[in-house]
Amino acid sequence: MRSVKKATPGLTTGEQLNFLLTNRLPRRWLTLFMGWFSRIESPALTRLSIAIWQCFCDDLRLQDAKNPRFKSLQECFTRQLKPGLRPLDNRLGTVSSPCDAIVGACGRIQDNRLFQAKGFPYTLEQLIPDTRLAARYHNGQFVTLRLKSSMYHRFHAPVDCQVRRVNYVSGDTWNVNPIALKKVEKLFCKNERAVLELEFGHPDYSLTLVPVAAILVASMKFHFLAEPLNLKYRGANVIPCNATLRKGQEMGYFQHGSTILVFASEQYQLCPGIVEGQLVRMGEALLSGHPLQARPLHDFNQSEEPTTTLDV
């Protein structure tokens, strides 16, 4: 089966051009270059780069940054927010959004089959290498969360949980915007990604996050791993760790905008308003039906790194 469809009904000439310009360039080289360029510490170059970026992103809100003085473009991409800007929905049974995002495809998984876009299916087993874990989400719920490049790039625990391992899958760096999702079959299953099962002591309920990298983005930093996961990573695919996180606590960040796929077992339901195209902020209600109540939050802040033991 071909990975890219030659003709896609519904795409305009402009969208076809967007796809060519953002996907037919040497993706790996461009991603490695962007990683190097974004780390250059030069106030003048950083200001110029941000000014050019703002010409293309009218929703870039740098006034929300905790520290708006950036030494590099990467500091801008991975900026922290001022305290209090992302309150948590702590109602009983609520799973909060792990990040700021635009909701993409979402809803009930049909057995093991779900969609990245209309007419573009993939299966849980094609995305998640652990078939035991994938089977837990048959007939469950899924939400695609797309982080635009202008958005807050850090992601947080949606419930009180533990992460005992990260399953890293090396792969390509296709763009993950809606245009590419309507052109590249099984795109999420081709791209670099990490699978994080969230454990919370209830055997009948299950939640998993799958952060997916993309062009310009292939660097995922998790606070409970010793090194970032990127195109230069050469370590084990299954990385043991022992991180304890509170709901809303920061887990890590993308170097640039990308996507997080959220999977929930069949007991969960999408919250009202979680529909394709909806803007959601970190901490807002995403799913209902969680069996445990989050612990009080007064004794930690969201940017605090998780309690971690690295298994080496």
Distance, CA of 67 to CA of 82 (rounded, Å): 8
- Beta strands in 31-98, from DSSP E residues, in sequence order: 94-96
Q: What is the CA radius of gyration of the chain?
A: 19
Question: CA-based angle 98:74:85, to the nearest 5?
Answer: 40
Distance, CA of 144 to CA of 118 (rounded, Å): 13
199: three-class secondary structure by DSSP: strand
- Contact criterion met (CB below 8 Å) for 230 and 135: no
> To which residue do tokens 């949606």 refer?
158
Pairing of strands 259-264, 113-117: unpaired
Active site positions, annotated: 100, 156, 258
> To which residue do tokens 């790039």 refer?
153
Distance, CA of 211 to CA of 209 (rounded, Å): 6
